[in-house]
Amino acid sequence: MSLFDKFQPLIDIRGELEGVGVMPFGAVTEKLLSPTEAIVNGQRVILAGTNNYLGLTFEPECIQAGQQALAEQGTGTTGSRMANGTFAAHVALEQELAAFFAKQQCIVFSTGYAATMGMAATLAGPGDVIVLDADSHASLYDGVRLSGAEVVRFKHNDAADLEKRLRRLGARTANTLIIVEGMYSMLGDQAPLADIAALKKHYGGLLLVDEAHSLGMLGEHGRGVAEAAGVEEDVDFTVGTFSKSLGAIGGYCVSNHAELAAIRFAIRSYIFTASPSPSVIASTRVALRLMQERPELRTRLWDNARRLYDGLQALGFKVSPQASPVVAVTIEDRDRAIACWSQLLHRGAYVNLVMPPASPSTDSLLRCSVSAAHSHEQIDRIIEAFAGLDTEHTAAAN
């Protein structure tokens, strides 16, 4: 027996992929040409798997702000927020995020993973209960495992199953944390937050919503699914990331609970990691402002999303259950999915290949994410790349 034995399935898959000359995981972006085009694995491609929803990664104002912060404040903070790593800009971003969400409290984290994992690990503990959607992100699962709380899963987006779980808990719901995502990252489907919020109000407990993939795209102000559903007041904690719509890296938690100001000093992923670099904070602050000043970005994003969704659906592909900026094509056979990913790359479209256990089922996914920066011509070229798969995937798979 060896510590490495448990990794043998991964070693086998990697060897198999190397044998056919396909390496979809960790594909190397050799040169970025724009927010929507790059050279990936030697191929010039349209980027259709970057989560750059508003296309702000090359926004001149964001770049200028980052460059200025880099020149004035250096490359990094070299310390945690609890030590020397709290700069005035960190505090300013927390205030601006709180104002944007119309909340009293905000914590900025170094990554979105640190935010979601940290809050899930800290809010509930031994003797408490966490009830979470079965398709929750890995960061949330990692957090609840660390919490020490009893963990109960309910069927994905199934409010009736959530109610059954809460009813069984009885009086223990007073010490229960419900965790869901606003929009789920693999298929782009939205949580029935109105129903979930109503159950939380009826049975008690607290509700945490991860809006990582819905920030900037839903709701009158772009605050996410909770705003679109009209239930923001019933959400106790909203967590998310800067690495999607804001085109940077980092995470946040906002809340109206005054206790969050003290809770931050118990969150290990906040206490024991270096704070975000000044340049990242600077570009994020500008992106947050531009997201609010340019609602037309959201309009273009959804126009592109529906164009791609309708186009792939018309080709007969099994697509996500509803139109969204995440458009996933389900491929049952793993080898076919790998071959299709490779063919798409050669046809000029980079998408994400998602295989179990990362996918929410035993099927594999060709996951696309649309940007406001995509032109209609680029969306149509992505559709054309998919249209050619039926005639080529069989030979590639064999």
- Active-site pick, 244, 342, 364, 393: 244
User: What is the C-alpha separation between 327 and 330, in angstroms, rounded?
Assistant: 10
User: What is the C-alpha separation between 361 and 356, in angstroms, rounded?
Assistant: 7
Alpha helices (H) along 88-207: 88-101, 112-122, 138-147, 159-169, 193-203
Please return the burial class of 332, using the count of CB atoms within 10 Å of its CB with bins 0-12, 13-18 and 19+.
Answer: exposed
Question: Does 374 participate in catalysis according to the annotation?
Answer: no
Residues near 210 by Cβ (< 8 Å), separated by ≥ 6?
116, 136, 137, 140, 179, 180, 181, 182, 239, 240
Question: What are the φ/ψ torsions at residue 352 (nearest 5 degrees)?
Answer: -95, 130
DSSP 191: P
- Active-site pick, 185, 245, 277, 364: 185
Axis crossing angle, helix 389-397 with helix 334-346, rounded to the nearest 10? 120
CB 66 within 8 A of CB 283: yes
Take residue 360 and report the two structure tokens written for it: 């929410």
Question: Does 213 participate in catalysis according to the annotation?
Answer: yes
DSSP 203: H
DSSP 183: B
Axis crossing angle, helix 296-314 with helix 376-387, rounded to the nearest 10? 20
User: What is the C-alpha separation between 23 and 303, in angstroms, rounded?
Assistant: 32
User: What is the C-alpha separation between 48 and 352, in angstroms, rounded?
Assistant: 8
Take residue 393 and report the two structure tokens written for it: 């995937």
Fill in the amino acid letter for 89.
A
Is the bond preceding 357 in cis, omega lying within 30 degrees of 0? Answer: yes
User: What is the C-alpha separation between 22 and 35, in angstroms, rounded?
Assistant: 25
User: What is the C-alpha separation between 153 and 133, in angstroms, rounded?
Assistant: 6
Question: Does 375 participate in catalysis according to the annotation?
Answer: no
Strand order in the sheet with 364-369: 326-331, 364-369, 352-354
The residue length of the chain stands at 398
- Active-site pick, 90, 103, 213, 393: 213
Residues with a known catalytic role: 185, 213, 244
